[in-house]
Amino acid sequence: EQIEKGGYEHFMLKEIYEQPSAIVDTYRGRMLVDKGMVRMAGMDDNIERFVNAKRILIVACGTSWHAGLVAEYIFEDFARVPVEVEYASEFRYRNPIIDENDVVIAISQSGETADTMAAIKLAKSKGAFVFGVCNVVGSSISRETHAGAYTHAGPEIGVASTKAFTTQITVLSLMALKLAKAKGNMSNTDFHYHLQELDLIPGKIKKALEANEHIKEVAKKYMNAANFLYLGRGFNFPVALEGALKLKEISYIHAEGYPAAEMKHGPIALIDENMPVVVIATKKGHYEKVVSNIQEIKSREARIIGIVTEGDTDVRSMSDYVIEVPDTVEAFTPLLTTIPLQLLSYHIAVMLGKNVDQPRNLAKSVTVE
């Protein structure tokens, strides 16, 4: 096992550090930056189904569902197609309205999740075209779907999903770009620019990982908090959910993810000087709005950990700690902002002496209802 961990203390840490190369493995051979094209057999062979889809429905569970939420923002922004994201476990039990004009994307690291499998079978029975995004080659879900794309992240052993999440977002981004191009929703210049930006992401993740020692300090400071709040907006709202899930899973600290602007509709009542609030506030999209959300929380004495773009000064001046990530196009910021959140939950769990790779009550793949 020590050899398999490749010198890292835990599989989770190894997998966090593998993300730059895992993402290269995901887009290698698919993203042809020089030629300005995305090649993906499962989509190329069925491009009409995608182009004519009235709607894309994404079904998944847990972290894969969070990747689906990020994809909702990306598909709608790039390809201008309505997207709905469903928990597979809810979808299967609510007599959903779905037909042959729908494309269903099922996301699953393991490819064995029982609820996702049941949702796929239901969607197929209603005539929808079902596309799988799985990591495990030859898994049940990859065999049950009409077509699909593997994430090629390599084995993920830690129960807390890390590299599966970022590689799922990578595949889904490539799919959204491809569809945008096929539908004529994105100019060639813009398309090319996004390919180039995606190509830079692995290097930028490496940069984000350099904050590890600083993140350890933040972990040490807040490891004894009873509750954490994670806030984000737009593309980074799902990242807030994912950050909170990571902390819950491995440290057993109660954490909630919330869209930053929803705070004032309830959760703000929870805030006092004992509540660490992790706010994703990159210099894109809703930056000004997030800054004013931070002001609201600050005035309630919360401890603020800002996830910011390199060189940021506004959020820094309001935060107890900031963790920087490199700049990129808004749609790809989740690939960077998620890195410090993975490391933060990892270090807190290690400091609390928890079993990081095999947390209590959890299995790597949930093959029962």
- Of residues 187 and 367, the one with the C-beta less far from ligand AGP: 367
Q: Judged by CB under 6 A, which stretch of 110-118, 176-184, 187-195, 197-205 contacts ligand AGP? A: 110-118
Q: Judged by CB under 6 A, which stretch of 153-161, 169-177, 259-267, 301-309 contacts ligand AGP? A: 153-161
Residue 169 CB, nearest approach to ligand AGP (Å): 13
Residue indicated by tokens 């000064």: 313
Instruction: Note whether 366 binds ligand AGP by CB under 6 A.
Output: yes
Is 264 tagged catalytic?
no
Q: Judged by CB under 6 A, which stretch of 107-115, 142-150, 185-193, 340-348 contacts ligand AGP? A: 107-115
Instruction: Note whether 109 binds ligand AGP by CB under 6 A.
Output: yes
- Of residues 249 and 330, the one with the C-beta less far from ligand AGP: 249
Cα–Cα distance measured from residue 158 to residue 142, given in angstroms and rounded to the nearest whole number: 21
Residue 110 CB, nearest approach to ligand AGP (Å): 3
The three state secondary structure string of 36-54 is: CEECCHHHHCCHHHHHCCC
Q: Judged by CB under 6 A, which stretch of 41-49, 196-204, 345-353, 361-369 contacts ligand AGP? A: 361-369
**Considering only residues 19, 64, 167, 293, which one is a binding residue for ligand AGP as defined by CB under 6 A?**
64
Residue 123 CB, nearest approach to ligand AGP (Å): 16
**CB neighbours of 11 closer than 8 A, spacing ≥ 6?**
4, 5, 157, 158, 357
User: What track of x and - describes contact with ligand AGP for positions 159 through 178 (by CB under 6 A)?
Assistant: xxx-----------------
Is the separation of the CB atoms in 341 and 307 below 8 Å? yes
**CB neighbours of 225 closer than 8 A, spacing ≥ 6?**
253, 274, 275, 276
Position of minimal CB gap to ligand AGP: 62
Q: ∠ CA 96-99-104 to the nearest 5 degrees? A: 80
- Of residues 130 and 291, the one with the C-beta less far from ligand AGP: 130
**CB neighbours of 195 closer than 8 A, spacing ≥ 6?**
31, 33, 36, 38, 177
Q: How many residues bind ligand AGP (CB under 6 A)?
A: 16
The residues that are catalytic are 364
Positions that interact with ligand AGP (CB under 6 A): 61-64, 108-110, 113, 116, 159-161, 249, 362, 365-366
